[in-house]
């Protein structure tokens, strides 16, 4: 612990520096933004992740982080992936691009899509780690109705067929924007049919590559398609029944659904403790249904779980070797045979066992790109879920526990050697002098995960 004091202080300072105070309709909110350079608003899964680290420093701030996020909830229950902060212009696309005012409460500006639904998991985590009973109860009273409405909204509009797996409609909803998992779907959107004004808008106004190397970000074609999809949904007046029907991008994403499974378990546990048993049973049933559906996405041919392309009536497995294939560990959806295969792939130096594991795409895949966003770099975020997932299986396989501890040490080491970056070059292990951090620096979620991992190493002693 002593050896990490300096770094823990740095993590704490990053969270402090990235805290901003905003007034929305006369009310004051404190929020932690992901980074001061580009991500200057509040993101759903970032905020949820940050709250989990923050509870170890400042309980009230952790509760407030989640409460300040749900003020962006729509009347229909959707919690959007971005809650825009007024007066900030560093991010593209701007709030106006979504045309969602009228759906939100109190005129708060938001995006119109969601993020991996990490909120209930974060709420359970901070309730477990907070010591002030009164604050915990106050938080729960406000938070539980919102989170139930959010889960009900997702189940209703994203799983109308009641198969246990939610459908995402935009790569940004996956949290892994330019993952090669999405290439085959996005390539169906012919660039020639994207209206010239969308392309001109992207070319003129895109901000990320002004602050950072374009080699580390999604491509221009990706952005044309991202904005094309937003425009399409806007034209459908954010009617999700129509959107699911018409979008050229509709996927049962295994990462998103693994979090959905765990989130329903968390919500059921919170309701058991603080709410209604019947409601708890409902979310527990949803969790079990998703768990089984995830297990069934396994392909024996590819030795992996597969996302399912469900665009316009399709039902086609997407078998790309990314770190998403390990996410069903986090959902407890893994059979003994599947566990053996996953552990083998995680330990294979030709695939996922790199200098800084776990790369977002297997290094022997033709899609691997060590610099570009979700096409190769290692992310502390996904490492956290993989570590937690492996821990779930420690009683079943000793190697699961060994790997969890190893990845925990390596993630700590990666951050210690390079700093609190958004993502990292997966091929190196800090033995040369080149900085291996990629993306934006002083990244809030990386700081929060560092705090959580250090706490974990303490408890495992
Ligand atoms: C971005 O703008 O890079 C985000 O990932 C979208 O949520």
Tokens 């520096």 sit at which residue?
Answer: 17
Q: State whether residue 372 is helix, strand or coil.
A: coil
Q: 34-38, 104-108, 343-347, 387-391: lowest mean pLDDT where?
A: 104-108
| Ligand 1 atom nearest residue 92's Cα | 2
Q: Which of 35, 39, 170, 220 gets mutated to test ligand 1 (max ligand atoms within 8 A of its CB)?
A: 39
What pLDDT was estimated at residue 29? 86
292 is catalytic: no
- Tens of pLDDT, residue by residue over 233-245, are 999 999 999 999 9
Burial label for 67, CB within 10 Å (0-12, 13-18, 19+), is middle
Residue 447 near residue 15, CB atoms below 8 Å: yes
Which atom of ligand 1 is closest in space to residue 82's alpha carbon?
Answer: 7
CA of 115, closest atom in ligand 1: 7
The candidate with the shortest Cα–Cα distance to 13, out of 322, 441, 387, is 441
Beta bridge partners of 308: 252, 317
**Rounded to whole angstroms, how far apart are CA atoms 457 and 12?**
18
Question: Cβ of 163: how many Cβ atoms within 10 Å?
Answer: 15
CA 3 to centroid of ligand 1, rounded, Å:
34
Query: CA-based angle 52:78:87, to the nearest 5?
Result: 75
pLDDT for 429 beyond 70: no
From the CA of 128, how far away is ligand 1's center (Å)?
Answer: 30
Given this model, what pLDDT does residue 456 score?
A: 87
Q: Please name the residue whose Cα sits nearest to atom 7 of ligand 1.
A: 172
How buried is 207 (Cβ within 10 angstroms: 0-12 exposed, 13-18 middle, 19+ buried)? middle
pLDDT tens digits, 177-222: 999 999 999 999 999 999 999 999 999 999 999 999 999 999 999 9
d(CA 301, CA 319): 9
pLDDT of residue 428: 76
Q: Please tell me the residue having the least CA distance from ligand 1 atom 3.
A: 177
Question: How confident is the model at residue 433, as a pLDDT?
Answer: 54
Q: Percent of the chain, pLDDT > 70?
A: 98
For residue 26, what pLDDT is reported?
82
Residue nearest to atom 2 of ligand 1 (CA): 92
- Among residues 315, 275, 269, the alpha carbon closest in space to that of 120 is found at 269
Calculate how far, in angstroms, residue 265's C-alpha sits from the geometric centre of ligand 1.
27
- 307, 344 contact by CB (below 8 A): no
Identify the pLDDT of residue 432: 64
Verdict on whether the full-model pTM lies above 0.85 = yes
Q: Which residues line ligand 1 (CB under 6 A)?
A: 81, 172, 177
pLDDT band at 105 (very low <50, low <70, confident <90, very high): confident
The answer, yes or no, to whether residue 3 has pLDDT greater than 90, is no
d(CA 277, CA 372): 46
By three-state DSSP, how is residue 423 classified? strand
- Cα distance between residue 2 and residue 70, in whole Å: 37
The pLDDT confidence band at residue 70, using thresholds 50, 70 and 90, is: very high
CA 69–ligand 1 middle distance (angstroms)? 17
* Residue identifier of the C-alpha nearest atom 6 of ligand 1: 172
Residue 9 has pLDDT above 90, yes or no: yes
CA 399 to chain centre: 26
Residue 239 known to be catalytic: no
Residue 458 confidence (pLDDT): 81
E strands, 6-72, in order: 19-24, 27-32, 42-43
Of the given ranges (12-16, 226-230, 427-431), which has the lowest mean pLDDT? Answer: 427-431
Q: Can you tell me which atom of ligand 1 is nearest the CA of 177?
A: 5
Among the options 37, 115, 177, 253, which is catalytic? 177
**DSSP state letters, 200-257:** HHHHHH--HHHHS-GGGS--HHHHHHHHHHHHHHHHTTT-HHHHHHH-S--EE-HHHH
Q: How far is the CA of 202 from the centre of ligand 1 (A)?
A: 14
Backbone angles phi, psi at 83, to 5 degrees: -105, 115
State the distance from the centre of ligand 1 to the C-alpha of 348, rounded, in angstroms.
Answer: 31
For residue 94, is pLDDT > 60? Answer: yes
Asked if 438 contacts 378 with a C-beta cutoff of 8 angstroms, the reply is no
Report how far residue 164's alpha carbon sits from residue 244's, in angstroms, rounded to the nearest whole number. 16
**What Cα–Cα distance (Å) separates residue 306 from each residue in 17, 298, 300, 318?**
39, 6, 10, 5
54 pLDDT above the threshold of 70: yes
20 alpha carbon to ligand 1 midpoint, in Å?
19
- Testing ligand 1's pocket by substitution, the residue of 47, 90, 168, 177 carrying the most ligand atoms inside 8 A of its CB is 177
pLDDT given at position 266: 98
If one residue of 83, 95, 110, 172 were mutated to test the ligand 1 pocket, choosing by the most ligand atoms within 8 A of its CB, it would be 172
């Amino acid at each position: 612990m002593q050896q990490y004091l300096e770094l823990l202080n740095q993590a704490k300072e990053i969270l402090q520096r990235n805290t901003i105070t905003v007034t929305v309709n006369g009310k004051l909110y404190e929020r932690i933004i992901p980074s001061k350079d580009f991500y200057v608003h509040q993101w759903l899964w970032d905020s949820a992740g940050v709250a989990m680290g923050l509870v170890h420093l400042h309980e009230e701030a952790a509760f407030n982080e989640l409460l300040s996020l749900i003020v962006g909830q729509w009347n229909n229950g959707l919690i959007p992936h971005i809650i825009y902060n007024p007066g900030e212009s560093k991010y593209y696309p701007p709030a106006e691009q979504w045309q969602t005012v009228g759906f939100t409460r109190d005129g708060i500006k938001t995006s119109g899509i969601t993020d991996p639904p990490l909120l209930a998991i974060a709420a359970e985590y901070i309730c477990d780690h907070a010591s002030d009973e009164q604050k915990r109860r106050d938080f729960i009273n406000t938070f539980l109705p919102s989170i139930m409405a959010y889960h009900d909204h997702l189940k209703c509009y994203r799983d109308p067929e009641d198969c246990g797996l939610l459908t995402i409609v935009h790569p940004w909803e996956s949290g892994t924007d330019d993952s090669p998992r999405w290439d085959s779907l996005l390539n169906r959107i012919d660039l020639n049919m994207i209206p010239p004004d969308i392309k001109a808008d992207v070319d003129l106004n895109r901000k990320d590559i002004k602050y950072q190397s374009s080699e580390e970000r999604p491509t221009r074609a990706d952005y044309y398609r991202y904005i094309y999809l937003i425009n399409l949904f806007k034209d459908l007046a954010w009617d999700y029944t129509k959107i699911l029907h018409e979008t050229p991008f509709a996927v049962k994403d295994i990462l998103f659904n693994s979090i959905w499974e765990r989130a329903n378990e968390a919500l059921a546990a919170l309701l058991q403790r603080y709410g209604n048993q019947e409601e708890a049973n409902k979310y527990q049933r949803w969790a079990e249904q998703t768990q089984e559906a995830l297990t069934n996405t396994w392909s024996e041919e590819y030795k992996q779980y597969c996302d399912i392309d469900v665009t316009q009536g399709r039902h086609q497995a997407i078998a790309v070797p990314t770190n998403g294939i390990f996410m069903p560990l986090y959902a407890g959806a893994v059979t003994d045979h599947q566990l053996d295969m996953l552990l083998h792939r995680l330990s294979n130096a030709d695939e996922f066992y790199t200098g800084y594991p776990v790369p977002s795409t297997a290094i022997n895949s033709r899609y691997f790109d060590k610099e570009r966003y979700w096409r190769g770099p290692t992310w502390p975020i996904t490492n956290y879920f993989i570590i937690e997932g492996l821990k779930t299986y420690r009683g079943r396989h000793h190697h699961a526990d060994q790997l969890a501890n190893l990845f925990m040490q390596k993630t700590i080491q990666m951050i210690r050697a390079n700093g609190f970056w958004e993502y990292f070059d997966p091929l190196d292990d800090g033995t040369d002098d080149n900085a291996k951090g990629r993306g934006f620096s002083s990244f809030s979620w990386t700081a929060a995960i560092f705090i959580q991992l250090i706490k974990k190493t303490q408890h495992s002693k």
